[in-house]
Amino acid sequence: MSKLIKPRRTGFTVTSNKIIRDASLSWKARGIFTYLWSQPKDWDFYETEVMRHATDGRDGLRSGLKELETAGYLKRLRTRNEKGQLSGSDWEISDEPMLASPVSDKPMLQNPMLDEGTLLNTNPLSTNQLNTNNTKDTLSGKPDLTWVVAVRVISHLNEKTGRHFRDTPTNRRLIMSRVKEGFTEADCMQVIDNKVADWKNDSKYSQYLRPATLFNASKFEGYLNEPKHEEVKGYGGLDF
């Protein structure tokens, strides 16, 4: 079960023109947001319950949620039970982008920011590089913005390990593949934190604190579900 977190406004649904006029979003994404925004604060629900209130189906709902997360209007944070097992998620929504740098009327997601408000500065890329390094979704032909998550995750890995992994197509591809399988940015951060806690001070295993190992398709979920280490907080992430 998920829980919705939003500012409290009663009596009617008031929505900022920011999201209504955000041309980077599809009409579908804006409709999904409006439905969620109309619900009461701390509303408990399941994704399947939301799906039943429109004709788009599960894939349509998820692609719309993906757009909202990419643009910063939605954050989904994984929650765990007392045993450290994944038990649900909290969906935090806002009609203003929840990004450290405000999104313009035609957002380009330039200079992505960490949720703590710290500008990514590990192997920094220029604005032009960030834009031109974007890729296309092979099915829709639209921009594939999962690369934004990859940039943030690589920065987090460098911060935690003191290394300087580059934002290369190979490293991006590993992270983007996990995101497209349904894992979130917070999951990627959690795997890094888990394995840094296990390996950073181990001369034998510290060499494996690298993208090729941490985001390996056959190992990633196992690393994520290991006994919980320090809680990962504040990562908005994309959940595709």
Phi and psi of 141, rounded to 5°? 80, 0
80 lies in the same domain as 56: yes
Of 37-51, 100-114, 224-238, the one with minimum mean pLDDT is 100-114
**Domain boundary pick from 63, 86, 104:** 104
How far apart, in whole angstroms, are the C-alpha atoms of residue 237 and residue 149?
Answer: 7
Parent domain of 94: 1-104
* Averaged pLDDT, 45-59: 82
Look up the CATH number of the domain holding residue 98.
1.10.10
* Confidence grade of residue 56 (pLDDT, cut at 50, 70, 90): confident
User: How many domains does the structure of the chain reveal?
Assistant: 2
Q: What's the predicted TM-score (pTM) here?
A: 0.42
Do 135 and 231 lie in one domain? The reply is yes
Same domain assignment for residues 6 and 94: yes
Say if residue 126 is exposed, middle or buried (CB neighbours under 10 Å; 0-12, 13-18, 19+). Answer: exposed
What pLDDT, on the 0 to 100 scale, is given for residue 238? 47
Query: Do 116 and 196 belong together in one domain?
Result: yes
Q: In the structure encoding, which two tokens stand for residue 225, read together?
A: 């579900």
pLDDT value of residue 148: 81
Share of the chain above pLDDT 70, in %: 70
Lowest mean pLDDT among 67-71, 171-175, 234-238: 234-238
Average pLDDT over residues 50-58: 85
Q: Which of 50-59, 128-137, 147-156, 191-200 has the lowest mean pLDDT?
A: 128-137
Spatial separation of the C-alpha atoms in residues 110 and 103, rounded to whole Å: 9
* Domain's final residue, options 84, 104, 124: 104
- Domain boundary residue among 104, 133, 151? 104
Higher pLDDT, 110 or 51: 51
* Confidence band, pLDDT 50/70/90 cuts, at residue 1: low
Shared-domain flag, residues 99 and 120:
no
The pLDDT-based confidence of 38 (bands split at 50, 70, 90) is confident
pLDDT of residue 30 exceeding 90:
yes
Q: pLDDT (tens digit, 9 = 90+) per residue, 149-161?
A: 888 899 999 999 9
Task: Specify whether 89 is located in the same domain as 49.
Answer: yes
Rounded to the nearest 10 degrees, what angle do helices 27-37 and 57-71 cross at?
90
